[in-house]
Structure 1
Amino acid sequence: MRVIFKIFFVLLAIRLFTCEGKVKRDVAEFGRDFVPKPKVEEVSGEDLSEETPPPTDASPLLAANYYFIFDGSENMEERCAGQEKLRSAQRAAQELIEQVPDDANMGLLVFDDHRDRGEAFTEPVALGPDNRKKMNRALRRIDADGNSSLREAIYQGVNQLEEQSKKQQGYGEYHLVIITDGQDIGLEDAARYAVEKGIAIHTVGLCIDREHPLRTYALSFQNANERTDFTLTPEAERVEPETFEPIDTKTLVAETQTPATAE
């Protein structure tokens, strides 16, 4: 019996010595503030909560957004290709508005005679759904006057689209539709800024130079003095009608009547 007790005490002493040695090693390695961590049980995949499903096609989070910037500065009273710039710009804007999808958000930023003193531009239509009628009414009220604020307007348009992107959690499409004669400084930086933010630029220009920044950075560019129909579709995606060569009916008849050669 005494032998059994001796063996028990020897084993207990060895166990205590081993544990003490491990703690000393841990303290030496991690410092005196070391606290042994409890063992963490692994959680099976069945216990994890399901991820939030992506939005469906009908979700407002996937809505496209078209923010129009309309140049109504005094330069728009001039003529381009024999027509008043302002009238050509209004016609182009109305055509583009009709092409925006029904479930898309639209907004309008204008710098013209109606802006308050000290203000660079006005926003007659805030970005939102079901704005087609409001957009057309606001376009008809534009009166050209004042200095150009195109550069500031582009930055403001980018800010509005970024705010909308936060509401849509980054989903959706974001477009700037710029209608202008392009007379302003610092436009290249503003256009590049918009593109770097992932915003597509569509430009309708009125007698704009070929080297203008809005030609360089725009996804689609159309010159109001070169066309009478306008579209939001990029040039590379437009489908031109196929052309067919006229058929020589005499040759076709002769070929069908030629006897087959015996093998």
Structure 2
Amino acid sequence: MKKLFTKLAAVGLTLAACSPAFAGKPNLNDFHLGWLDGIVETPYKKDEDLLGRTYMIVMDASGSMNWDGRAQCPQIKDKRINVAKRAASKFAETINPNDKLGMVIFKNGTPKYTLPFAYNNGPQFASQVNRISPDGGTPLRSSVLMAFNELRKEGARKKGHGEYHLVVISDGDPSSNAENPASLVKAISKDSPIQIHSIGFCLKPGHPLNQPFLNYYQADNEASLTQSLQSVLAESKSFSNTDFQ
């Protein structure tokens, strides 16, 4: 495990340019303290709900999302990205006002933290999602790592209170072996309180994000994709940090 997070630290430092506030390396041997080690804390506002939920969406904007969905999913009558846009926007509309939402989009083979965590930012989320123009590969590991680092910073601000949910929506396999997220999501799930929800959009069985320790949802049409995202909200309502004490 120590060797794994030493490698994660190196990748995290590489992503520092994309996440200027990141300082320090992940050290998750004890998530109660370790998952926030090395993070520079920024004060939270007095009116913030420290027990609220924090959702980070990782949105696939790779080239395959621009394909007609009917090739693999006969029930889809539109391009995959258009279906994903509608479902993700509905998800943002239903988040509790006391919960925060952020987003990482990977496009042109590069992840970007496009929507900082905030309350009541569903309209901004929908606006960004609707402007997506898919292109490039599928850097799943880099994208999950960026999302994880941003959740760590939010966790440090809130002194570890509240709930943390990382939601990955993807339709393809990682671009390379180096971008396989399997070991990363396993480490995050084991050694941090972050709940990972992976939604396989028109994916074949055996995808790296389809792991028994994750909340995995298979979405093969627009209705099931929308329902999968709503299930994330249902899962979070039943989840409590006391499960880790």
Structure 1 SS opposite 2:81: helix
The Cα offsets for residues 171-195 of structure 1, whole Å up to 9 and x where unpaired, read as 0000011111131041211221331
* Alignment-derived partner of residue 245 in structure 1: none
Mapped to 1, the partners of 2:83 and 2:220 lie a distance apart of 7
Does 81-90 or 170-179 show the bigger shift?
81-90
Deviation at 1:161, TM superposition (A): 0.6
**Matched residue type, 2:153:** E
- Aligned residue pairs total 174
Aligned 1:142-161 pairs, distance under 5 A = 142-161=132-151
Would you say 1:218 and 2:208 are equivalent positions?
Answer: no
* Alignment-derived partner of residue 70 in structure 1: 59
* Alignment-derived partner of residue 157 in structure 2: 167
Larger RCO (CA under 8 A, 6+ residues apart):
2
* Alignment-derived partner of residue 188 in structure 1: 182
Deviation at 1:84, TM superposition (A): 1.7
Structure 1 SS opposite 2:159: coil
**Matched residue type, 1:160:** E
Mapped to 1, the partners of 2:68 and 2:115 lie a distance apart of 27
Query: Residues 71, 228 of structure 1: CA spacing in aligned structure 2 closer, same or farther, 3 A cutoff?
Result: closer
Mapped to 1, the partners of 2:207 and 2:217 lie a distance apart of 11
State percent identity of aligned pairs.
Answer: 24
Deviation at 1:97, TM superposition (A): 1.5
Return the TM-score normalized by structure 1: 0.60
The Cα offsets for residues 111-152 of structure 1, whole Å up to 9 and x where unpaired, read as 125xxxxx8222221122221111010000000001211110
Would you say 1:86 and 2:74 are equivalent positions?
Answer: no
Structure 1 or 2, whichever has the larger Rg, is: 1
* Alignment-derived partner of residue 49 in structure 2: 60
RMSD (CA atoms): 2.2
Conserved 8 A contact 1:92-1:224: no
Mapped to 1, the partners of 2:92 and 2:214 lie a distance apart of 18
